[in-house]
Copies of this chain bind each other. A is one copy, B any other.
Amino acid sequence: MKIAIDAMGGDFAPQEIIKGAVAGAREYGAGLIFVGPRERIQSELSNCDTQGLNIEFVHTDEYLVEGEAPAQVLRVKRYASINLAVRQVKEGAAEAVISMGPTGGVMAASLMQLGTLEGIFRPVVGGAFCGFAPRTITLDMGGNLDARPDQIVDFAVVGTIYARKVLGIENPAVGLLNVGCEEGKGNAAAKEAYPLLKKSGLNFIGNLEGTDVLSGKANVIVCDGFTGNVMVKFCESLGRAASRWLEAELQNDVSAERAGEIARKLLDLTVLADNTGGGPIWAVNGLVFKGHGRSRAKEMAVTVGSAKRYFELDIVNALREELRAVRRRLSDSAA
């Protein structure tokens, strides 16, 4: 398996990206295609042990910068590293692509070159975001801010395949994030999504309030991307605040080292982006992994492992099939 690496994506690119990709390739067994300025990449590689690794290059001097409007920029910077990296997957040269660059750019490049799976409007972003509920994944986290009810059902399908394939939960429980438990509660999108989810054939367990997000009742929590994005980022905000408070609170109870250790543990449980690698951009025609801009070599290496695993699980095809099955059930029930 070969993975295309956007060598210029991320706050610590290219150094940490290259270091991490090489480490990941060695640990998990994968070939790499580095996309970016060839000389810079090779100079970084000269500091790494690449012996025996299968490494290729696609040269380009262009790359995206945080803050640029991605769709527009990609039309001008046609040879941007993320664009050429995604193209490796499209052309069959690589089986997955990884970028720590700007989300909008990765999304736009994936959309323009790979396209979404049948009937999916925009890529879906999600995953487990809090260490207190590692077997609960939330979607969407920001790809679909004004999600329509039928898109929320798509999120549920993506989440079901994710939970089944990646977490090994045979029949994942799907909850609709909402302001109350009873059917009929919610904003317009949630109210309309409820009956669709009921008829989807998925294991829909009904509405789930914010208080139950970490309770483990649901393996898959679906919501519009605006709400999901705010909740996930708020988790980090609360984690940081609680961690700071805890370190001070413990100062007369334990040593400064131990207080710092406990505070860091709490941070690790609540700020997952810091210690797990990137996650997939769901529902595009290919494996695209996007990690946090501040990812370092460690996160990059972990993401190489994830890409390898998802490839072996044949997850894109599994998702394609489940989407078709759910659509068939919904149209049968409407007929």
Chain A interface (Cβ < 8 Å from any Cβ of B): 67, 130, 132-133, 142, 145-146, 177, 179, 182, 186-188, 190, 209-215, 223-227, 229-242, 245-246, 249-250, 253-254, 258, 262, 265-266, 269-270
| Residue contact B250 to A262, C-beta cutoff 8 Å | yes
Q: Which of A188, A239, A241, A262 neighbours the largest number of chain B CB atoms within 10 Å of its CB?
A: A241
| Residue contact A145 to B187, C-beta cutoff 8 Å | yes
Nearest CB of B to A117, in Å: 23
Contact pick for A179, options B145, B188, B253, B254, CB 8 Å? B145
Q: State A177–B231 Cα separation when bound (angstroms).
A: 11
Known A-B contacts A186-B226, A262-B249; the reply to A132 vs B238 at CB < 8 A is: yes
Q: State A229–B10 Cα separation when bound (angstroms).
A: 33
Q: State A173–B190 Cα separation when bound (angstroms).
A: 31
| Residue contact A226 to B229, C-beta cutoff 8 Å | no
- Chain B residues positioned under 8 Å from A266 (CB to CB): 242, 245-246
Known A-B contacts A210-B231, A245-B132, A265-B249; the reply to A215 vs B237 at CB < 8 A is: yes
Nearest CB of B to A215, in Å: 7
- Chain B residues positioned under 8 Å from A223 (CB to CB): 230
Q: State A214–B209 Cα separation when bound (angstroms).
A: 21
| Residue contact A210 to B234, C-beta cutoff 8 Å | yes
| Residue contact B265 to A226, C-beta cutoff 8 Å | no
- Chain B residues positioned under 8 Å from A190 (CB to CB): 226
- Chain B residues positioned under 8 Å from A142 (CB to CB): 179
Top 10 A-B residue pairs of the complex, sorted by shortest distance between their CB atoms: A210-B233, A132-B241, A210-B234, A145-B187, A210-B230, A187-B226, A179-B229, A211-B233, A214-B241, A214-B237
Nearest CB of B to A256, in Å: 13
Nearest CB of B to A221, in Å: 10
Nearest CB of B to A135, in Å: 13
- Chain B residues positioned under 8 Å from A236 (CB to CB): 210-211
Contact pick for A237, options B210, B232, B241, B254, CB 8 Å? B210
| Residue contact A133 to B231, C-beta cutoff 8 Å | no
Q: State A188–B224 Cα separation when bound (angstroms).
A: 12
- Chain B residues positioned under 8 Å from A226 (CB to CB): 179, 186-187, 190, 227
Nearest CB of B to A188, in Å: 5
Q: Which residue of B lies closest to A215 (CB)?
A: B237
| Residue contact B242 to A242, C-beta cutoff 8 Å | yes
Nearest CB of B to A189, in Å: 8
| Residue contact B187 to A224, C-beta cutoff 8 Å | yes
- Chain B residues positioned under 8 Å from A213 (CB to CB): 234, 237-238
Q: State A296–B279 Cα separation when bound (angstroms).
A: 45
* Given A214-B234, A231-B234, A250-B253, 20 new contacts (CB under 8 A): A145-B179, A145-B186, A146-B187, A177-B230, A209-B230, A210-B233, A210-B236, A211-B233, A211-B237, A215-B237, A223-B230, A234-B234, A238-B239, A239-B242, A242-B266, A242-B270, A245-B266, A246-B246, A246-B262, A253-B254
